[in-house]
Amino acid sequence: MKITVITGPNGELVGTAQGHAEEHRRMQAGPLAGPGQTLHELTVPDELAQLRDAAELHAQIARHLPKR
């Protein structure tokens, strides 16, 4: 599954959205990184879509972020 992740200046997870903007040419809106934030487009295991606990989801996503 492809997701878009926004991290803050210290690498903390700020937000996520399923999909990449370039996959959805008709996309009307999407995540936007603010000042000091970074946008990451990642491929993660499909099973992450089933997680309902935000802390667990963030922990799993963090494993896929580039190392600082």
Q: Please give the C-alpha separations between residue 7 and each of 37, 63, 66, in angstroms, as whole numbers.
A: 6, 13, 11
Joined together, the tokens standing for residue 25 give 């040419």
- The tens digit of pLDDT for each residue in 7-56 reads 999 999 998 888 765 655 565 677 889 999 999 999 999 999 899 998 99
Query: Predicted confidence band at 67 (pLDDT cuts at 50, 70, 90)?
Result: confident
Phi-psi region at 16: left, alpha or beta (left = phi > 0; alpha = psi -120 to 50): beta
Q: How many CA atoms lie within 13 A of 34 on its CB side?
A: 5
Q: Where are the domains of the chain?
A: 2-62
As to burial, measured by CB atoms within 10 angstroms (0-12 exposed, 13-18 middle, 19+ buried), residue 7 is buried
